[in-house]
């Protein structure tokens, strides 16, 4: 399977994803699934500036992800799939993307959210997304960096 990580991180492409996760996993491609960003060429270029030459980035809508993910999963290019929020990851799962595990790596403090880990804060609707993903057979863990042990969010949401 070429998708080595499905990750929710509101910062999307940044150093922790590229260096912390990408290098140890020999990632060559990052796919960002975000309906708004998929149509913003300038913002996409800004995200690409932080990538080494060995890594590419694509920006897809949820509909494109549902259509293209089977081929992406089947190929041999190590890939990270990123979403900015749990709702987008949930939509992909509900619409048929085969996701075995989701890593929640950065959902920060905001109004209406409660802190469940130092780097994960969840609003009630996000807690419901965690429970819904788990009920659908998707393991939801939090892990800021690869060296940290995964923490199941189901019991905290």
Q: For 3-152, which CATH superfamily applies?
A: Phosphotransferase system, sorbose subfamily IIB component (3.40.35.10)
Q: Are strands 114-117 and 120-122 parallel, antiparallel or unpaired?
A: antiparallel
Task: Give the model confidence (pLDDT) of 78-89 as tens digits.
Answer: 999 999 999 999
What span, in angstroms and rounded, lies between the C-alpha atoms of 138 and 22?
22
pTM of structure = 0.95
Local structure of residue 150 (DSSP, 8 states): P
Local structure of residue 41 (DSSP, 8 states): H
pLDDT of the residue at 144: 85
Q: What percent of the chain has pLDDT over 90?
A: 89
Q: Are strands 151-152 and 139-142 parallel, antiparallel or unpaired?
A: antiparallel
Task: Give the model confidence (pLDDT) of 57-71 as tens digits.
Answer: 999 999 999 999 999
Task: Give the model confidence (pLDDT) of 103-146 as tens digits.
Answer: 999 899 999 999 999 999 999 999 999 999 999 999 999 998 88
Domain residue ranges of the chain, discontinuous segments joined by +? 3-152
Residue 106 has φ and ψ, to the nearest 5°, of: -165, 90
What span, in angstroms and rounded, lies between the C-alpha atoms of 89 and 34?
10
């Amino acid at each position: 399977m070429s998708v080595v990580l499905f990750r929710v991180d509101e910062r999307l492409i940044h150093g922790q994803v590229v260096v912390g996760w990408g290098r140890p996993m020999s990632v060559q491609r990052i796919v960002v699934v975000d309906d708004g960003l998929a149509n913003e060429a300038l913002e996409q270029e800004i995200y690409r500036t932080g990538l080494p030459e060995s890594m590419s980035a694509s920006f897809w809508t949820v509909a494109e992800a549902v259509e293209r993910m089977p081929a992406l999963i089947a190929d041999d290019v190590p890939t990270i799939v990123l979403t900015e929020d749990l709702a987008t990851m949930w939509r992909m799962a509900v619409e048929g993307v085969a996701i075995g595990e989701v890593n929640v790596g950065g959902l920060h403090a905001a109004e209406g959210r409660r802190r469940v880990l130092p780097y994960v804060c969840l609003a009630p609707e996000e807690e419901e997304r965690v429970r819904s993903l788990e009920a659908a057979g998707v393991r939801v863990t939090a892990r800021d960096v690869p060296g940290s042990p995964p923490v199941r969010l189901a019991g905290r949401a």
